[in-house]
Structure formats: C-alpha cells, structure tokens
C-alpha cells in the first residue's frame, strides 16, 4: 500500500499546461472531410486540452503565379485550411514550410531571399486581416520542419538565410509575433548548432545589424527509433537528450539560455505510419502522462528549463495501430499521408459526402483527463517515496482557481508488456462540509478490445461502431460523497491513467450548454450520423447525451457520461432529436440543450 498525502493549501506554483499541442502532415488533409471531423472531436477536449496544431507543408496550399519579375498568390486553399483549424478552436503552430507552385529556387541569391521575405509579410498581413491581430498574436510561427533531414534541400547557409527572411517578413507586420526553430530531428545536429549560433552571434543577411531574433528553440526527441517491431521507448532518455540541447546552449550560447524550449514531436516511437497495437491500448495514455510529468519534474523543476510547449505528433488519420488520436473507418487509405497523400483538389466538394466513421483512442481520452487538471500545482508526499521513473507510479496534483481538486495518478513503465496493480490510499486533508468526487480511469484495451471481439471488422456496422464508442470513454470507476476525511482507497492498474476530481458540494445545477454545430455524415455501412458540438459551462464536469423520436421525449441516454464537448449520435426514423445536459460533480443536471437531428 502506498500512502499519498496532498495538502490542498500547499501550493507548488502555477501550473502551465505545456502539453496542449498536436501535429500531422500534410496540410492538405485540412481540406478533407475526414480531417474536419477529426478536428471537431479533438477540439472538444475540456480545458482547451489540445490548443495548437502543427501541420506540415501548409504553404503548398498557396498557388503562385509569376508575371515578369513579380509574383501574385492565390490564398483560397490556405484560407480554407486555416479557417477549419480556427473554427474548431485551434491555434496554428504555423510552419513556414512549403514552396508555393515551386517558384522559389533557393536561398542563396539576395533577390530570392527578398522575395521570400515579402511573401512571408504578405502571408502574415492576410492572417491579420482574416483573424485579427489579437488572435494571431497567440500563434507560433516556426521554420521548415526537420531541416537536418531530407525535407530541406538548401544547406545550412540557405537555412539561416531563409530564417532571416522569415523574421524580416514577420517583423514588417508585427515584431512581437513569436517565431523560432529549427525543429531539428537529430540530437545536436550540425543544423541545430548552425541555427543557434546564427541566432546568438551571427548577422542577418538582410539587416546586417546583428543576429535575428529567436523567441523559442524547437527540437524533436522521441522515445525510440523507427522500427516495425515494438521497441521499448526510453522516456527518461527523451529528457536526457533534450538536456543535451539545453546544456549546449547554456555552455556555448549563454545569451540564449532563457529562450523557451519546445519539443513539438515528443512521441513514444519514431514513425507514425508503422502500426503498433499498443497505440490503441492504455499503455499509450499512461506513457503520455508519465512523459509530461517527467518534463515537469526533471526539466522544469530540477533543471529550471524555460519549457514552453510539448507536442505529440499524432494528429494524423489512420487505424488502431497508427500514431493517431482516432481510429478511422472508410474507403480512403491515409497510411503514407506525409510522403504520398495528394488531395484531389478538383473533387473537393464531391468528397465532402464520402462515408466515414471515427472511434476515439486512449491517446485522445488522456488529453481529456489532462485538460481537467487545475491551474495550481500542489505538493505531494508519499510513503514510500514515489519513484515513477523506476516503478511507474506517479502523481500530478492540482487545484483549480475555484477550489476544485484534480489529481492525475498514472502507472506506467517503459516496458510494453508489463502489468500489475498498485493499491494506494489518497489523503487530501479534512472536509469542512460535503465534498463530491469522481474517479475516472483509462485502463485495459478499451475500444480496441471490443473491435477484436467483434471480429476486427474493416467496415463496422453502425451497431458495432456504437459498441466501440461506448468503450472508448474514460470510465467513472468510483464516485460519491466525502464528509469528514478527504480520503480514498484506490487500486491503480499497470498501465493506467486515473483522474480524481473532488469539489465542495455545489448548491445549484450548472448552466445549460449551448449547441455550437451539428454536421451530418454517412457511415461505412450506409447509416447516418450527426456530429454534435456544444459549449461547456464553467461548473460542468461532464455531459449526458440523450436521444428521442419526438421533440417532447421521452429521451433515452446514449452517452451517460462524457468529458468532451462533442459526440457522434445515430440518426434514423426513430431518432430525430437529441439533448445535451451538463452535469456537476454531484450529478446535478442542467436544463437540456435540444437539437433536431
């Protein structure tokens, strides 16, 4: 038995939710209905759990025309792609990556560099006009992805010239916007060193007045190399290799020691398109929680690293074994999207009606649990002392500004096939009244196990989809009322991620949610579904979605407890209306929000 004691009055400081990002490739996928549905579901995580999106090759969506010595641009496809991101609440982590219509030959000739500068300035001005300066000021702008690999073809000098032009183009519009890089793939690669040196003591090829500014330094470190087999990730090794970059900067470029650090591809294994079934099991969310906690403990707390953002590059479209947040069912094959996928631009409108279906994976469910953590970190004491990097049991204890407690307890070891269970006693002091609590858990193989039991259908029926989706949600394993001691006895499976929510009894129900959108889709089996999205009142912790044939009811629950702010519901002759009800932790229900399907 491990005794874990948390004092809700003992703050360990403000808690930056630095993991709230994802990415995918290529940006053309934003034009597809499959990605639109994906963003609607991923964008529904509570607490803005996934805020930033980092697609590759976004600038390939710009079409350029050369007339004499001047260039003009057709922005319509890029507008459509970014509009989709913003519509679902995302902010771009915008890579200045891609070559519009192939018109840019390189970055050695001054005229080419100046034209790129002007292109970037025109791009940013368009963003300001379309989304507003206040919104764009919250975005990130970044260099070409992984320029130390084959994606970049212009060498180190070409890359620093390109960066100078990017900075100059952005500065021409607003010098307060964030820009950085280099987003390199290899630890301490020559490209990384050349970029950092240039930003420290180099000279901009355009201004000749010293080095260009850099607002963050981005790198990519992952758990284990690409392989078709299930290699064991080294999660502490991710932090260790990141610290090599940090220490290199501190030693060789101390002027940049306070520049924020970002790992925007912090994945368990290299290679999103290789299939590893553990991507569909509770191994993944437990590992993701541990990696986040390791960065907080080992880098932010111990090494005082100005760590700004950590992202999983898992926003792709794919199957159970792919590094994705949802499992896709439909006629298209996205398994090599980064290298081979080309959207049929001539058939975009017709493609909006293709059959598709999605089932949530544990890698998205964990973002829901993480999104419910509070803004203040709390000190944790344990007997025996917690050693999560050795035995797997770890705790992230937080408090919301309104007093609600949210404690994430994970059990994760790097070894993929280890299992077990750890009993704990969780104590959070004395209760000065009635406190409601719920414990949510991600454990086992969830929806993937249901899919296997159903015979692993490549094109599931609508009933089979419903069964898988019901198993995909975090499970409320325990709930009730605490009146004297805020104390719980729990058993924590290995691997698992568990969220404990505790708050003082509220005297009134939550405000009603507001339906934001409803979009109709055809399933692979020929049925009809509606993807509903709604707003989340501040006091709500969960939602119930109910269905009926008639506006006046009676309504039957379809999803009893959802943490996310979106759901997929069936539509047929007997299901014509839906209600969404917000729940407080005590179970008090709001007035229902009604939508006709």
Residues serving a catalytic function are: 146, 265
Rounded to whole angstroms, the Cα distance separating 39 from 87 reads: 9
Place of tokens 């290298």: 339
DSSP state of 153: -
Q: How many residues does the chain have?
A: 597
- DSSP labels, 69-132: TEEEEE-HHHHHHHHHHHHTT-EEEEE----GGG----SSSHHHHHHHHHHHHHHHHHHHHHH-
Element (H, E) at 291: helix 283-294
Rounded to whole angstroms, the Cα distance separating 448 from 282 reads: 10
Mode of pairing for the β-strands spanning 21-24 and 52-55: parallel
- Checking phi first, is residue 77 left (phi over 0); if not, alpha (psi -120 to 50) or beta? alpha
* Contact of 534 with 580, CB cutoff 8 Å: yes
C-alpha dist (Å) from residue 154 to 100, 133, 470 = 16, 32, 50
Mark 1-14 as b/e (b = at least 16 C-beta within 10 Å).
Answer: ebebbbebeeeeee
Compute the radius of gyration of the chain from its Cα atoms. Answer: 24
Rounded to whole angstroms, the Cα distance separating 249 from 254 reads: 6
* Contact of 427 with 381, CB cutoff 8 Å: no
Burial of 179 (0-12, 13-18, 19+ CB in 10 A): buried
Residue 433 has a CB neighbour count (10 Å cut-off) of 8
Phi and psi dihedrals of 532, rounded to 5? -100, 140
* Contact of 174 with 133, CB cutoff 8 Å: yes
Place of tokens 């709604």: 534
Residue (of 184, 182, 266) closest to 224 by Cα position: 266
* Contact of 276 with 269, CB cutoff 8 Å: yes
């Amino acid at each position: 038995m491990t005794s874990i004691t948390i004092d809700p009055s003992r703050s360990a400081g403000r808690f930056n939710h630095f993991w709230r990002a994802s990415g995918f490739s290529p940006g053309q996928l934003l034009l597809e209905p499959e990605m639109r549905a994906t963003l609607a579901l991923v964008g529904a995580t509570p607490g803005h759990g996934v805020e930033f999106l980092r697609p590759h090759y976004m600038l390939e969506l710009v079409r350029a025309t050369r007339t004499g010595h001047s260039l003009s641009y057709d922005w319509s496809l890029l507008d459509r792609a970014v509009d989709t991101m913003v519509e679902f609440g995302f902010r771009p982590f915008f890579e200045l990556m891609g070559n519009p219509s192939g018109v840019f030959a390189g970055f050695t000739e001054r005229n080419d560099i100046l034209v790129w500068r002007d292109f970037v300035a025109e791009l940013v001005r368009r963003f300001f006009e379309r989304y507003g300066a206040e919104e764009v000021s919250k975005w990130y702008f970044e260099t070409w992805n992984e320029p130390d690999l084959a994606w970049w073809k212009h060498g180190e000098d070409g890359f620093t010239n390109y960066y100078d032009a990017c900075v100059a183009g952005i500065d021409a519009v607003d010098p307060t916007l964030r820009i950085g890089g280099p987003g390199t793939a290899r630890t301490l690669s020559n490209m990384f060193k050349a970029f950092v040196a240039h930003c420290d003591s180099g000279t901009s090829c355009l201004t000749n007045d010293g080095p260009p500014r850099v607002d963050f330094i981005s790198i990519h470190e992952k758990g284990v190399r690409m392989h078709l087999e299930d290699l064991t990730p080294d999660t502490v090794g991710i932090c260790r290799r990141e610290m090599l970059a940090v220490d290199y900067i501190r030693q060789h470029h101390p002027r940049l020691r306070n520049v924020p650090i970002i790992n925007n591809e912090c994945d368990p294994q290299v290679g999103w398109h290789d299939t590893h079934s553990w991507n569909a099991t509770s191994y993944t969310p437990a590992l993701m929680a541990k990696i986040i906690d390791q960065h907080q403990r080992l880098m932010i707390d111990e090494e005082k690293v100005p760590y700004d953002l950590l992202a999983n590059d898992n926003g792709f479209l794919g199957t159970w074994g792919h590094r994705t947040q949802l499992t896709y069912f439909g006629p298209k094959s996205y398994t090599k999207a980064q290298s081979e996928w080309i959207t049929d631009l001539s058939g975009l409108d017709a493609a909006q009606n293709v059959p598709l279906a999605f089932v949530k994976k544990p890698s998205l469910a964990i973002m829901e649990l993480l999104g419910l953590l509070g803004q203040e970190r709390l000190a944790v004491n344990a007997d025996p002392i917690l050693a999560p990097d050795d035995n797997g049991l770890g705790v992230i204890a937080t408090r919301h500004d309104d007093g609600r407690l949210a404690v994430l307890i994970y059990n994760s070891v790097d070894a993929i096939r280890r299992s077990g269970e750890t009993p704990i006693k969780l104590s959070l002091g004395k209760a000065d009244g009635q406190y409601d609590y719920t414990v949510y858990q991600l454990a086992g193989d969830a929806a993937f196990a249901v899919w296997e039991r159903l015979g692993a259908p490549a094109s599931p029926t609508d009933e089979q989809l419903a069964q898988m989706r019901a198993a995909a949600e975090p499970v409320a394993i325990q709930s009730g009322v605490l009146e004297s001691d805020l104390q719980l006895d729990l058993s924590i499976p290995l691997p698992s991620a568990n969220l404990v929510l505790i708050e003082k009894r509220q005297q009134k129900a939550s405000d009603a949610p507001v339906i934001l959108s409803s979009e109709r889709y055809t399933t692979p089996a020929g049925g009809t579904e509606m993807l509903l999205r709604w707003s989340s009142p501040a006091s709500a912790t969960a939602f119930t979605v109910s269905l009926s044939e008639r506006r006046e009811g009676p309504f039957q629950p379809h999803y009893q407890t959802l943490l996310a702010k979106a759901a997929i519901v069936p539509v047929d002759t007997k299901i014509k209306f839906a209600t969404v009800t917000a729940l407080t932790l005590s179970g008090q229900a709001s007035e229902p929000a009604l939508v006709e399907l």
